[in-house]
Structure 1
């Protein structure tokens, strides 16, 4: 069942405790190169600002870095938070990337600012930008399409590149908009799993074919940690638990080494919140992960998976990619 379901990766360029951003970005490139070698479909980078421990704020720059160090894997944004940027600037950035790396660039768009109000103001966007999201998506589509006679505003580079646009979401708004516009849809199950089923169903049932897409296409983001034993996978997952705990507490989001137990590190309420945040996580052996993925495909008609793999050791993270690739090979 999974043989024809693409596997992709979402990267936040998470900084290990005690490491540097330069080392982090070098590790991200090695990670992308391993993904390409193992047959993964896409490598997307997420936009976050003012978050110690996450180094993916200059998302378009990192996309160019990753695309320049790989040859075939698609590279894109998961996503660009459109309220933070003028659409013309995004069209020019991704149009330039598309000219440098033809047929390899994706533009995933999110509606949330992806940061706090102080940082939003520092990005020089107004408080109503999120309300203008449908209009700005439409403008981006126009700027990336071939120019028409009489068109005054042009993205150069950008015009005619037709960079594929995806809508990303963790609620129902983007699912409805993606369906209405006939665009592919990616649900952020890696941090907001609660509305997954409802959002996917709304998108699939309300989908209207377009020049971009004839039928609905759903990509599901989810955390995954694979290991030879379930015990080892659960041990590795404590790195992610510590990071989400830090997020809840408003602390820096450094990747910390795994621990034998989280007891004493969180209280009961915090444990509940962290596990709810990671409610869609697949943690276990390749066989256990395969069963969970097959159930999601069977239940929801998922077309593609995009994994977040948050572990401390870069070599272990690449080994997890090998285990995930083995799942497809076993079909």
Structure 2
């Protein structure tokens, strides 16, 4: 049986606001905990009115107070946006509040466009190859090994579970070199998945935290009692993907019956590409698609995602997905 986790972008619905999105995030995390999800992650995005997880560490503190056992973390923190010391302090604080439960996934994408990235970083003149160096600096703060000459307080001695994230081959190479677990963003960028996993496993070097490769992949699941209902629910995220890829992002829209039937060629091509790693349908349909994906990739863990306009429908989908994955006997 493959382990399963949840990725939440903390979507802001049309007609809703950030306060509602944050309340639903806590509710969803508690629901995931009850249904056996190993972890609940929030992704860092900025300048997007439909995503409320920009202050990722603050959101995790909120979610941690609503849960008791599930691991909570960032999937991920876009490290080029931050000084490593700041992240050490933030996640050291979270580790002190919720010991043994904190994950820290690290990515090198901006989580925004270049204009927003400039506002976050104040300058884009930093070294584009600095991500590995920043990861090592962050590890040093947690290890409290004195290499930086600065003691992170909080942070020194904290033990968040660090992951390297990626949607290309770079992250796979870095995770392998550092002996860290690796998560691939195949739920929206599926192209390099198989090659990245192969490189990670081939080049993996055992470390003090991990003795063998451990890989996770993002996977969209929209589960409902029938295939038709699942396709209807998925249309909210499908609309969001098309809007984002055509330069018109916004809040999560309500679902539309037969949405794909009314799409032109460009929209259909966008969805065919971005949703390659997805299962949309009844439990039987989802089981078939999940089993095929896990057999193909051999991932140790699935990062399940998929926002619906109706929060209750997302809770039902998450519960069905957990039942399906628990019932599969596939290579882990």
Q: TM-score range by the shorter chain?
A: over 0.9
**1: CA distance, partners of 2:47 / 2:198:** 34
The one of 136, 158, 168 equivalent to 1:171 is 168
**2: CA distance, partners of 1:52 / 1:24:** 11
Indicate the residue corresponding to 1:137 in structure 2: 135
TM-score, normalising length: structure 2: 0.95
Q: How does 1:298-317 map to 2 (within 5 A)?
A: 298-317=295-314
**2: CA distance, partners of 1:130 / 1:57:** 22
**1: CA distance, partners of 2:262 / 2:169:** 34
**1: CA distance, partners of 2:162 / 2:93:** 15
Indicate the residue corresponding to 1:87 in structure 2: 84
Does structure 1 conserve the Cα–Cα contact (< 8 Å) formed by 2:224 and 2:281?
A: yes
Secondary structure class of the residue paired with 1:166: strand
Indicate the residue corresponding to 2:36 in structure 1: 39
TM-score, normalising length: structure 1: 0.95
Secondary structure class of the residue paired with 2:250: coil
RMSD: 1.5
**2: CA distance, partners of 1:270 / 1:326:** 32
Q: Give 5+ residue unaligned stretches, structure 1.
A: none
Instruction: Give per-residue Cα distances to partners, 1:49-104, cap 9 Å, x unaligned.
Output: 00111111100100111011110010000000001000000001000110010000
Instruction: Give per-residue Cα distances to partners, 1:266-302, cap 9 Å, x unaligned.
Output: 3211220122112111111222222222223323221
Secondary structure class of the residue paired with 2:216: strand
The one of 238, 243, 255 equivalent to 2:240 is 243
**1: CA distance, partners of 2:122 / 2:215:** 30
Instruction: Give per-residue Cα distances to partners, 1:203-232, cap 9 Å, x unaligned.
Output: 011111111100000011111101121121
Q: CA deviation at 1:321?
A: 1.3
Indicate the residue corresponding to 2:178 in structure 1: 181
Instruction: Give per-residue Cα distances to partners, 1:134-192, cap 9 Å, x unaligned.
Output: 000011111111435x7621211111112111000000000011001100000001110
Q: How does 1:16-165 map to 2 (within 5 A)?
A: 16-127=13-124, 128-148=126-146, 152-165=149-162
Does structure 1 conserve the Cα–Cα contact (< 8 Å) formed by 2:144 and 2:151?
A: no
Does structure 1 conserve the Cα–Cα contact (< 8 Å) formed by 2:277 and 2:293?
A: no
**2: CA distance, partners of 1:129 / 1:76:** 27
Does structure 1 conserve the Cα–Cα contact (< 8 Å) formed by 2:214 and 2:300?
A: yes
* Distance 1:319-1:263 versus aligned 2 partners, 3 A rule: closer
Secondary structure class of the residue paired with 1:131: coil
Does structure 2 conserve the Cα–Cα contact (< 8 Å) formed by 1:147 and 1:160?
A: no
Give the total of aligned pairs. Answer: 327
**2: CA distance, partners of 1:89 / 1:306:** 26
**2: CA distance, partners of 1:264 / 1:284:** 17
